[in-house]
Amino acid sequence: MKPLKVGLLGLGTVGGGTFTVLHRNAEEIRRRAGRSIEVAMVADLDVDKAKQLVGDTGARIVPDAREVIANPEIDVVVELIGGYGIAKTLVLEAIAAGKHVVTANKALLAVHGTEIFKAAADKGVIVAFEAAVAGGIPIIKALREGLTANQIQWVAGIINGTTNFILSEMRDKGLDFDVVLKEAQRLGYAEADPTFDIEGVDAAHKVTLMSAIAFGIPVQFDKAYVEGITKLSSVDITYAEQLGYRIKLLGITKRADKGVELRVHPSLVPAKRLIANVEGAMNAVVVQADAVGATLYYGKGAGAEPTASAVIADLVDIARLHDADPQHRVPPLAFQTSTLRDAGQELPVLPMSDIVTSYYLRIRVADEAGVLAKITGLLAGAGISIDAVLQREADEVGGEGSLQTDLIILTHDTREGDMDKALAEIQGLPTVLAPITRIRKEELN
């Protein structure tokens, strides 16, 4: 059978890894796919660098991605350029030219996925994106194909290695965020401009995709709540530890009665959960579903070859399955495109005030009689019940010799809107001496 001819757009880290692995494991891949997978063309602006990597493998190198798309011999276009700009244009042009598309571009799909998947469905081509979420972990396949029997209840994942590395280091070494970020940049775990990672944007792109696949809704990155780790203090990591929790940046999407929760933020997770023990730059995703219960998927979420592993798995899928009936073969978002729920209507993404979770609160208070009673009274008045309280010994003398302390409160599940109101009242108390720290807590059970 003739080879599957691939055109690679972009020969950076992931493109280079894809090229390398396709060549190193060509024989195994051919035995699995039933035909060779051959990189026939590579488009990269840096033609000389590309030539060095490609060597004498026979792949044609061009500076213009459109030459790849225009080549009738190319079966699949692999987009590894990234970003929302030219990548979007090229993906749509490749689809229009009847090419299957493989992409690792989570940003593009989380924002423009609906348009892209629609174009692909109209044209009868496959758009595959295993590499867009959690690198080499086949989590898209698990959600889209492995758990199809289930009503999925929630998905929660450590899906950004940079932030998990930073949080692991903060905990292990008791260091502050800024110090660890610099170290992470030095070691290559964080980029020179780390904003997308540390502000939670990258994780939000990924959880947006998982949300659509889990619940049969369109991708709606604009509705996601996004909070990063830049304001996390190491004192909260320490307190959490004392209470039996770790702090992780989680991407969470949950099916609630009236809609879907879609959020990224630091979260306390019980230390005994497997996912709480995922350290360093590793990724893990837990899926809770009605028939199977909880399943967890763990591995490397980034890097040249782990990401290439996912890109190539998509290519093998295309080699195996491209001739299945396009109306029924595996749909990009797990649900047949015609059955996706109307975003605004049937299953809306809920505003943060309507999400339900539990909380960790750190409140800097004057160490006076009645402070605890006053605060817990306000919480009770808002219908918020308390799971645990940790009152520290007074540790600081303020002005006029007054004593201060940290009051740590863990709550049971409550509506975030109710918590917001209660916190506004508590913040207004004269005995509350600093802005309250509030971190959400996920029991994941």
Residue 137 touches a copy of itself, criterion: CB under 8 A? yes
Closest to a copy of itself by CB, 32 or 374: 32
Which of 44, 317, 367, 406 touches a copy of itself (CB under 8 A)? Answer: 317
**Is 145 annotated for ligand binding?**
no
In the block, residue with structure tokens 């947006």:
208
CA separation for the pair 39, 77 (Å, rounded): 10
CB of 183 to a copy of itself, least distance (A): 22
CB of 434 to a copy of itself, least distance (A): 37
Which among 146, 264, 118, 295 has a CA at the least distance from the CA of 197?
264
CB of 21 to a copy of itself, least distance (A): 5
DSSP state at residue 110: H
Residue 26 touches a copy of itself, criterion: CB under 8 A? no
DSSP state at residue 221: G
206 in catalytic set: yes
Report the chain's terminal Cα–Cα distance, integer Å. 49
Which of 327, 353, 385, 427 touches a copy of itself (CB under 8 A)? Answer: 327
Which among 166, 133, 161 has a CA at the least distance from the CA of 283?
161
**Is 12 annotated for ligand binding?**
yes
Residue 34 touches a copy of itself, criterion: CB under 8 A? yes
Q: Active site residue: 99, 206, 223, 300, which one?
A: 206
CA separation for the pair 184, 163 (Å, rounded): 9
Site residues (CB under 8 A) for a copy of itself, limited to 204-233:
216
Q: Which residues contact 151 (CB under 8 A, 6 or more apart)?
A: 255, 289, 290, 291
Stretch that binds a copy of itself, among 69-77, 160-168, 257-265, 307-315 (CB under 8 A): 307-315
Which among 406, 414, 425 has a CA at the least distance from the CA of 387?
414
How big is the chain by its Cα radius of gyration, in Å? 24
**Reduced to 3 DSSP states, what percent helix, strand and coil does the chain have, rounded to the nearest 5?**
40, 25, 35
Residue 179 touches a copy of itself, criterion: CB under 8 A? no
CB of 342 to a copy of itself, least distance (A): 13
- For residue 239, which phi and psi values (nearest 5 degrees)? -60, -45
CB of 328 to a copy of itself, least distance (A): 4
Which among 385, 329, 363 has a CA at the least distance from the CA of 121?
329
Site residues (CB under 8 A) for a copy of itself, limited to 244-273:
none
Which of 6, 311, 361, 423 touches a copy of itself (CB under 8 A)? Answer: 311
Which among 310, 403, 416, 386 has a CA at the least distance from the CA of 80?
310
CA dihedral of residues 160, 162, 165, 170 (deg, nearest 10): -110
Residue 293 touches a copy of itself, criterion: CB under 8 A? yes
Task: Give, for 385, the enclosing helix (H) or strand (E).
Answer: none
Residue 24 touches a copy of itself, criterion: CB under 8 A? yes
Beta bridge partners of 270: 245
Stretch that binds a copy of itself, among 109-117, 136-144, 376-384, 395-403 (CB under 8 A): 136-144
Residue 352 near residue 265 (C-beta atoms within 8 A) = no
Count of positions on this chain that bind a copy of itself (CB under 8 A)? 69
Residue 128 touches a copy of itself, criterion: CB under 8 A? no
Beta bridge partners of 37: 4
Locate the DSSP E strands across 257-402: 259-270, 282-289, 293-300, 356-366, 386-391, 396-397
Which of 45, 70, 86, 274 touches a copy of itself (CB under 8 A)? Answer: 274
Closest to a copy of itself by CB, 261 or 305: 305
CB of 188 to a copy of itself, least distance (A): 16
Closest to a copy of itself by CB, 71 or 153: 153
CB of 320 to a copy of itself, least distance (A): 5
Stretch that binds a copy of itself, among 65-73, 86-94, 117-125, 130-138 (CB under 8 A): 130-138
CA separation for the pair 396, 358 (Å, rounded): 29
Binding-site residue numbers for NADP(+) are 9-16
Binding positions for a copy of itself, rule: CB under 8 A: 1, 17, 21-22, 24-25, 28-29, 31-35, 130, 135-138, 141-142, 145-151, 216, 274, 277-278, 289-300, 305-306, 308-313, 316-317, 319-325, 327-331, 334-336, 339
User: Catalytic residue positions?
Assistant: 206
> Which residues are annotated as part of the binding site for NADPH?
106
Sequence ranges of the binding site: 9-16, 106, 191
